[in-house]
């Protein structure tokens, strides 16, 4: 039988039993969706691990956030600029890596298609020009060194960018700014701290989906920077001392609240705990108060456990649905073979062989699965917004393998049929 006829008969067999085949298509769509979910979770786990390795680089990480005691002292005048600078020196000169960061916003002059970049409803009109709050992120010098950012153009900040307040501040733009600005461009913004119109200069534009470590004790462990502006935190000891608790009080607050310590992997947990205690004792001496400094491992473990639980659920559902799909299709095939011997006889009288009949059955099942898979793409698109086409290729391969497995018993049954009886049935 020619290949075209095989596909024709496969299609006709599907159309004759629409109800049962429609049910199988739904099962196939469900299994495609679940397989996609498993692959997506696996990718998230892998990406999460890559992000952590990229930032922590094999070191032991601890996270600092401020205590309730700090809040009161911060606002009642107990914490002074001199005490802040002494605390800063203690942390930055320690036998470990320390960095801190903060999500922020910038008041940028309005441009077309700006909705995706908006951080909050704030706006300001100056000389007839409207300035809107766009997403921003601040990192310090050590974070800039530790985090391996990749660029489609330009480069990372230089050390000098963190050491002086510049009239034109260098910034790094997220991927979504590509096409709107290029490296070397200047951007007009309203500095809400000084209430002046100032300029940014674009130092570089990040690769798509670059993420930055944020608050590891929340669901926002990493933030996607596609629509953000990354800015340098000027070193606290380079800022005007008189303005630390006023103009730069947010930066000071985040030094204690979104702060990471990276210790060499060779240090024991006891050694690290001793160092952390010494830091907190120093903070107490400075009347800043002890902060909450804990190992990041427990937060990383919680995030991983959540992803693994999601993966396990998806895998279990995939196995169950695959089992039912396999049983359903196999039962349908066996039923068809039993009830449609005369139709098989007609095929043989038309010049087909039992091998052709077996191949038709195999193609019929694969067509049903493919139709179900195509239907699942709409649900995948709705949930994940973008489709990873590598996953789709993998799913097609998996469905092909499933088709081979579930076709074994029906094909063996066909091979055992008596050709003469089939011909008599078809006459």
**pLDDT tens digit string along 309-334?**
766 776 777 788 778 777 877 777 77
Q: Which residue has the tokens 């461009």?
A: 185
**pLDDT tens digit string along 139-191?**
999 999 988 888 999 999 999 999 998 889 999 999 999 999 999 999 999 98
Cα end-to-end distance, the chain, whole Å: 19
**Which pLDDT does position 344 carry in this prediction?**
67
Sign of CA dihedral 256, 257, 258, 264: positive
**pLDDT tens digit string along 249-302?**
899 999 999 899 999 989 999 999 999 999 999 999 999 999 999 888 766 666
Spatial CA neighbour of 414 closest among 366, 352, 368, 369:
352
**Which pLDDT does position 120 carry in this prediction?**
92
What DSSP character marks residue 288?
A: S
Q: What's the CA gap between 345 and 125, in Å, rounded?
A: 82
**pLDDT tens digit string along 395-419?**
888 888 888 888 888 888 877 766 6
- Work out the angle at residue 386's Cα, subtended by the Cα atoms of residues 382 and 391, and round it to the nearest 5 degrees: 105
Q: Are the C-beta atoms of 104 and 231 separated by less than 8 Å? A: yes
Spatial CA neighbour of 276 closest among 286, 254, 291:
291
What DSSP character marks residue 392?
A: H
**Which pLDDT does position 118 carry in this prediction?**
94
Q: Which of 8-22, 55-69, 129-143, 318-332 has the lowest mean pLDDT?
A: 8-22
- What integer best gives the mean pLDDT of the chain? 84
The answer, as to whether pTM is greater than 0.95, is no
Residues 6+ apart with CB under 8 A from 62: 260, 261, 262, 263, 272, 276, 293, 294, 295, 296
Q: Which residue has the tokens 């956030």?
A: 65
Residues 6+ apart with CB under 8 A from 177: 117, 205, 227, 229
Task: Give the helix/strand (H/E) hosting 210.
Answer: none
Q: Are the C-beta atoms of 172 and 207 separated by less than 8 Å? A: no
Burial of 373 (0-12, 13-18, 19+ CB in 10 A): buried
Stretch 206-234: mean pLDDT: 85
**Which pLDDT does position 312 carry in this prediction?**
75
Confidence of residue 125 (pLDDT cuts 50, 70, 90): very high
Q: Are the C-beta atoms of 373 and 399 separated by less than 8 Å? A: yes
Q: Are the C-beta atoms of 96 and 263 separated by less than 8 Å? A: yes
Count other Cβ atoms within 10 Å, centred on residue 364: 26
Q: What's the CA gap between 16 and 295, in Å, rounded?
A: 63
């Amino acid at each position: 039988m020619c290949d075209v006829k095989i596909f024709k008969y496969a299609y006709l067999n599907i159309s004759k039993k629409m109800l049962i085949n429609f049910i199988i298509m739904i099962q196939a769509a469900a299994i495609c969706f679940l397989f996609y979910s498993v692959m997506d979770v696996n990718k998230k786990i892998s990406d999460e691990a890559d992000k952590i390795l990229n930032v922590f680089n094999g070191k032991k990480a601890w996270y600092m956030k401020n205590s309730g005691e700090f809040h009161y002292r911060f606002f009642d005048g107990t914490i002074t600029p001199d005490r802040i600078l002494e605390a800063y020196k203690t942390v930055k000169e320690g036998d470990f890596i320390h960095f801190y960061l903060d999500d922020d916003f910038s008041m940028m002059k309005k441009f077309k298609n700006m909705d995706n970049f908006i951080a909050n409803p704030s706006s300001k009109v100056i000389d007839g020009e409207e300035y809107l709050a766009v997403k921003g992120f601040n990192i310090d010098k050590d974070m800039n060194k530790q985090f391996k950012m990749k660029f489609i153009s330009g480069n990372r900040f230089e050390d000098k960018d963190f050491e002086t307040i510049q009239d034109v501040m260098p910034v790094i733009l997220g991927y979504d700014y590509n096409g709107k600005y290029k490296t070397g461009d200047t951007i007009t913004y309203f500095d809400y701290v000084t209430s002046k119109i100032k300029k940014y200069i674009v130092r570089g534009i990040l690769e798509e989906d670059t993420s930055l470590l944020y608050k590891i004790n929340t669901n926002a462990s990493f933030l996607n920077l596609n629509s953000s502006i990354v800015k340098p935190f000027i070193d606290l000891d380079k800022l005007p001392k008189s303005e630390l608790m006023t103009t730069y009080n947010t930066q000071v607050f985040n030094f204690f609240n979104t702060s990471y310590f990276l210790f060499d992997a060779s240090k024991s947990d006891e050694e690290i705990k001793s160092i952390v205690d010494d830091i907190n004792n120093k903070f107490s001496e400075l009347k800043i108060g002890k902060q909450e400094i804990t190992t990041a491992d427990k937060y990383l473990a919680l995030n991983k456990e959540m992803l693994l639980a999601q993966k396990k659920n998806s895998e279990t559902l995939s196995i169950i649905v695959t089992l039912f799909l396999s049983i359903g299709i196999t039962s349908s095939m066996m039923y068809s073979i039993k009830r449609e011997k005369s139709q098989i006889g007609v095929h043989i009288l038309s010049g087909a062989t039992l091998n052709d009949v077996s191949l038709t059955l195999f193609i019929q099942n694969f067509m049903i699965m493919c139709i179900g898979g195509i239907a699942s793409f709409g649900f995948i698109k709705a949930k994940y917004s973008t489709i990873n086409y590598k996953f789709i290729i993998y799913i097609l391969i998996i469905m092909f393998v499933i088709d081979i497995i579930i076709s074994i018993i029906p094909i063996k049954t066909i091979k055992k049929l008596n050709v003469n009886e089939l011909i008599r049935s078809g006459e």
